[in-house]
A and B are shown apart, each in its own frame.
Chain A
Amino acid sequence: MSFGEIRDQAISEWGALQGSEKPRIIVGTATCGRAAGAMAVMEIIDKELSRLGIEAIVTQVGCIGLCYAEPIVDIIKPNQPRISYGSVTPQIVVQLVEDYIVNDNPRPDLALGTIGEGGIVGIPRLFELPVLKPQVRLSLRNCGHIDPAEIKQYVANDGYAGFARALEMAPEEIIGEISKSGLRGRGGAGASTGFKWERLWEAQGDEKYIICNADEGDPGAFMDRALLEGDPHAVLEGMLIGAYATGANYAYIYCRAEYPLAIERLERALDQMRECGLLGDNILGSDFSLEIAVKEGAGAFVCGEETALIASIEGKRGMPRSRPPFPAVSGLWGKPTNVNNVETWASVSAILQKGAEWYASFGTEKSKGTKTFALAGKIVHTGLIEVPMGIPLGDIVNKIGGGIVDSKQLKSVLTGGPSGGCLPATMLDLPVDYENLAEAGSIVGSGGMLVADEDTCMVDMARFFLAFVQNESCGKCVPCRVGTGEMLKILERITRGEGQSTDVERLEQLSGLVKSTSLCALGGTAPNPVLTTIRYFRDEYEAHIEEKRCPALVCNDLISYYILPDKCEACGICLRECPVQAITGDKRMVHIIDQEKCTKCNTCLSVCPERFRAVVKVSGEAPEVPSQLVPVTASQTRQAVEG
């Protein structure tokens, strides 16, 4: 079958599905959906449908990005718009089947929004909601929309049209198109994709490799996982285009082993490509041949660095080497190689499908297109987003993110994970693009974006990132291996309350040294969280060092728990729940925490009844508490006040 025929068939099947006379139920079953219980919901749907004798089409899709509302179930009845329902439990889905599918009540109280033409009274349009309106979905164009396990659904939605177009073009023309689009590496470094491709195209040799870097190691980032799970063909089509344009004949996808579903979806997608003549020898009848293999990572953050990744595919310890020679000259097995990130490959297929000018119409002068971010932390709408480059940081946090959980104050936005920086709440006007984030001391990075509230200690955050990097340092070069270790020691003593007055200066010196002399980007960017927290949150360092106080009440060695004698009702709950028996008390006697025994596990604070609020967490000060048991006075005080 020719590609034209496959495409015609795919479009007609897709059309038939859209115009189906049967109701359709669509369940988001990406990893986050599953973690929230999507598979249990799937089971109940099947049971309910067969119990009621309803014939319906049930499909699984990838992540639409609204992780806070998972599990998400969509229902489409014939000639009605698609309705998305959020936070669906097995109980709710039973109601939905009965109320909407059987009895025609669309249950606006449970709906998130409608998708597609037409509307339903009482339900907003999904893509008009503040969380989705500012978003522009190019890489994520099909996520949540098509069944990622069916290549035909991808084909019916312009899939592989970009590759078909590329086959009609000369390689130089394709590279020109990518350069013109302004696409830059979405893995973090932001190098021009067109420039990298040109280097591989120029390289001599009949054995060339392209690699998809899916070793998404930044803790707090899940864009690549969602993309591979939700639309693997968008990435694979990009790889076909890239291989054809650069003259590569072998390709690898290096994917984290922690992403089993992504690997499963990729393997299936590759099988389907082969069946459709999109993989192997003489693809779509052309002279172009390509093999793509999936390589599972084995758990090493440093393998996200391209030379380390290449060493790992070769079966060695995943340690980086110095460049030059760049992989385009000598890469995998010593052959010319180009490594691009998952999102970059998905952008490539979009660019060839819709054109460079269309792509370049999004974003800023130097940062074109869109970027996906994984929004997590203390934010209302956690999830996966895609926004045009240059969007103000505040729009992401407040509009898309819906602000901070529990009406707390925003303290910092952390971009770029352990290689990035911690930006203060005063920088919400900052346009998010490569240049502006770099100037602020951070990086765009692969797209992890973590929102921290007032209860987050920035010194502790810097310590957390550095501990991560220190643990993941491959040990090859001294500045990274020893330098980050020295920095970590300093940060640990500061958070223990043993900081010295010269520590901040010492951290800055070491940061400069590690940044400028490390072999690869892991060490080269490791000091960023430390430097930005010093730059924007110096007062917190000073409080820890000078006053031995943790203002956010996080650092265990600097905080204490006390029971306030005028609030305690001697209810005995904290005494019972304390896992280390650090609390003494008696009937009608104010309870006391033994500071020597207390492990600061927070249990007493969390179990003290809301109406008493007798347990307090403090740092650098201590309320007056009795040293021996005294009778409870709280009720009398309260009565006196109230009476």
Chain B
Amino acid sequence: MGHLALKYLGGAIPPGVLNLHEKLRQIAAAYAGKKGATIPLLQKAQEEFGYLSEETISEIAGFLGLTKNEVYGIATFYAQFRFERQGEHTIKCCQGTACYVQGGHRIVEAVEDELELEVGETTTGDYKFSLEKVACFGSCALAPVMVVDKTVYGRLTPVKARQIVAEY
């Protein structure tokens, strides 16, 4: 906290930063004095802002009394955290074992093609969709599976997957 006050002592706080700082302060208040707060704090921040910007990381480091490096070290270890702006809808394609043997990789290919994503790209240019490949949702009996936001779609075919994406 002190760290933040010092950072902006010399001049006006940019409006965006104030907003971010205020929101994070509210989020962080729930964890004040609690052990093991780093990951829950990062999770809440990501829930609020959609991803962890460098500024967010910097503010969180301030709250926790850690360096930015340390917070990045922790955040980048876990698959859940995003460091770039995400699309409005998140499509998660399961690449677990059951989905793999049922052709899950063909579902990803179909979605990538439908979204016109280039190799390595995960978010569409209009920020409507982000695509993630995840290990397993535990809905293996309905493989292949994909999850759009919070809705689970099972027993997919490439054609069905394209239709679902097109409807959003």
- Which residues of chain A come closer than 8 Å to B139, judged between CB atoms? 31-32, 35, 222
Query: Could you tell me the distance between the alpha carbons of A601 and B106 in the complex, rounded to whole angstroms?
Result: 8
If A35-B145, A315-B36, A315-B39 touch, does A298 touch B138 (CB 8 Å cutoff)?
A: no
Knowing A220-B136, A375-B141, the reply to whether A579 touches B101 (Cβ < 8 A) is: no
The distance in angstroms between the C-alpha atoms of A637 and B64, with both chains bound, is 79
Report the bound CA distance from A240 to B45 in whole Å.
32
Most buried by A among B40, B138, B139: B138
Given the complex, which residues of B lie within 8 Å of A260, measured CB to CB?
A: 150
Contact B81 A36 (CB under 8 A): no
Question: A417–B101 Cα gap in the complex (Å)?
Answer: 13
Shortest Cβ distance from A63 into B: residue:
B141
In the bound complex, CA of A282 to CA of B128 (Å)? 52
Tell me the complex Cα distance, A68–B135, Å. 21
User: A220 and B80 in contact (CB under 8 A), knowing A296-B40, A315-B39?
Assistant: no
Chain B nearest CB: distance from A448 CB in Å? 7
Known: A299-B80, A315-B39, A376-B98. A222 touches B113 (CB 8 A): no
A448 to B143, CA, bound (A): 14
CB proximity to A under 8 Å, residues B45-87: 73-74, 77-81
- Decide if B88 is an interface residue (CB 8 Å cutoff): no
Q: Is the CB of B78 within 8 A of A299?
A: yes
Whether B135 lies near A450 (C-beta < 8 A) is: no
Question: When the two chains form the complex, which single residue of A226, A318, A374 contacts B77, counting CB atoms closer than 8 Å?
Answer: A318
Is A377 within 8 A of B142, CB to CB?
no
Q: Do A258 and B153 touch (CB < 8 A)?
A: no
Does A468 interact with chain B (Cβ within 8 Å)?
yes
Is there an interface contact between B153 and A35, defined as CB atoms closer than 8 Å? yes
Note all chain A residues with C-beta closer than 8 A to B77.
300, 317-319, 474
Q: Is the CB of A448 within 8 A of B43?
A: no
Bound Cα distance A162, B34 (Å): 33
Name B141's contact: one of A34, A67, A257 (CB within 8 Å).
A67
**Cβ-based interface call for B97 (8 A):** yes
Q: Residue among B42, B136, B145 with the most chain A CB within 10 A? A: B136
Interface presence of A541 (CB below 8 A): no
Q: In the assembled complex, how far is the CB of residue B28 from the closest CB belonging to chain A, in whole angstroms?
A: 13
B29 within 8 A of A: no
Neighbour of B140 across the interface among A222, A299, A312, CB < 8 A:
A222
Q: Does A313 contact B (CB under 8 A)?
A: yes
Given contacts A31-B139, A456-B101, are A601 and B109 in contact (CB under 8 A)?
A: yes
A367 sits at the interface (CB 8 A): no
Interface residue A237 (Cβ < 8 Å from any Cβ of B): no
A197 at the interface (CB under 8 A from B): no
Per-residue contact bits, chain A 256-269, to B (CB 8 Å; 1 contact, 0 not): 01111000000000
Give bound CA distance, A383 to B143, whole Å.
Answer: 11
B140 touches A220 (CB 8 A): yes
B141–A298 touching, CB < 8 Å: no
User: B82 CB to closest chain A CB, in angstroms?
Assistant: 11
Quick one: which of B117-164 are within 8 Å of A by CB? Answer: 134-143, 145, 150, 152-155
How far apart are A439's CB and chain B's nearest CB, in angstroms?
Answer: 23
In-complex Cβ contact of A317 among B73, B106, B136 (8 A): B73
Q: Which of A46-54, A211-219, A566-574 contacts B (4 or more CB under 8 A)?
A: A211-219
Within 8 A of A (CB), among B84-119: 95-102, 106, 109, 113
| A219 and B154 contact, CB distance less than 8 A | no
Q: A35-B145, A258-B137, A601-B109 are in contact. Are A219 and B39 (CB under 8 A)?
A: no
Knowing A70-B142, A257-B80, A601-B109, the reply to whether A414 touches B97 (Cβ < 8 A) is yes
Give the size range of A's interface with the partner. 35 or more
Instruction: Say which residue of A67, A217, A333 sits within 8 Å of B135 (CB atoms).
Output: A217
Does B1 sit within 8 A of A, measured CB to CB? no
Contact with B along A414-445 (1 / 0, CB 8 A): 10011000000000000000000000000000
A258, B92: Cα distance in complex, Å: 11
Bound together, the chains give a CA A252 to CA B100 distance in angstroms of: 33
Does B37 interact with chain A (Cβ within 8 Å)? Answer: yes
A31-B152, A318-B77, A377-B101 as given contacts; A312 in contact with B39, CB under 8 Å? yes
Enumerate chain A residues within 8 angstroms of B97, measured Cβ to Cβ: 219-220, 376-377, 414, 417-418, 448, 450, 464-465
For the complex, is A602 an interface residue (Cβ under 8 Å from B)? yes
Contacts of A222 in B (CB 8 A): 136, 138-141
Task: Write out the residue numbers on chain A whose beta carbons fall within 8 Å of the beta carbon of B80.
Answer: 257, 298-299
In the bound complex, residues from chain B placing their C-beta under 8 Å from that of A377 are 97-98, 101-102
Given contacts A36-B154, A219-B136, contact A315 B141 (CB under 8 A): no
Smallest CB separation, A433 vs chain B (Å): 22
Contacts of A474 in B (CB 8 A): 77
Whole-angstrom distance between the Cβ of A466 and the nearest chain B Cβ: 12
Asked whether any CB of chain B lies closer than 8 Å to the CB of A275, the reply is: no
Q: Does B7 contact A (CB under 8 A)?
A: no
Contact partners of B96 in chain A: CB under 8 A: 219-220
Which chain A residues (209-234) contact chain B, with CB distance < 8 Å?
216-222, 224-226
Shortest distance in angstroms between B40's beta carbon and chain A's nearest beta carbon? 7
Q: Is the CB of B36 within 8 A of A299?
A: no
Complex partner residue of B142 from A67, A257, A313, CB under 8 angstroms: A67
Q: How far is the CB of B95 from chain A (nearest CB, A)?
A: 8
Min CB distance B112 to A, Å, is 12
| A378 touches which of B35, B101, B138 (Cβ 8 Å) | B101
Q: Which residue of A lies closest to B94 (CB)?
A: A219
Tell me the nearest residue of chain A to B101, going by C-beta.
A377
Q: Is the CB of B74 within 8 A of A376?
A: no
Question: Does A181 interact with chain B (Cβ within 8 Å)?
Answer: no
Q: How far is A226 from B73 in the complex, measured between Cα atoms in Å?
A: 33
The reply to whether B101 and A35 form a contact with Cβ atoms under 8 Å apart is: no
State whether A383 touches B141 (Cβ < 8 A).
Answer: yes
Q: Is A382 an interface residue (CB 8 A)?
A: yes
> Is the Cβ of B74 less than 8 Å from the Cβ of A315?
yes
Nearest neighbor of B31 in chain A, beta-carbon distance: A315
Query: Shortest CB–CB separation between residue B108 and chain A, in angstroms?
Result: 12
A226 to B97, CA, bound (A): 18
Chain A residue numbers with a CB within 8 Å of B140 are 220-222, 374, 376, 382, 448, 450
Q: How far is the CB of B27 from chain A (nearest CB, A)?
A: 15
* Inter-chain contacts of B143 with A (CB < 8 A): 376, 382
A315 B138 Cβ-Cβ under 8 A: no
Contact: B101 with A450, CB < 8 Å?
yes
> What is A's interface to B at a CB cutoff of 8 Å?
31-32, 34-36, 67-68, 70, 216-222, 224-226, 257-260, 295-296, 298-301, 312-319, 333, 374-378, 382-384, 414, 417-418, 448, 450, 452, 456, 461, 464-465, 468, 472, 474, 579, 601-602
Query: Can you sample 10 A-B contacts with CB below 8 Å?
Result: A219-B97, A219-B98, A222-B138, A258-B137, A295-B36, A298-B42, A299-B78, A300-B79, A319-B77, A450-B140
The 4 A-B pairs of least Cβ separation, nearest first, read A67-B141, A219-B96, A222-B138, A299-B79
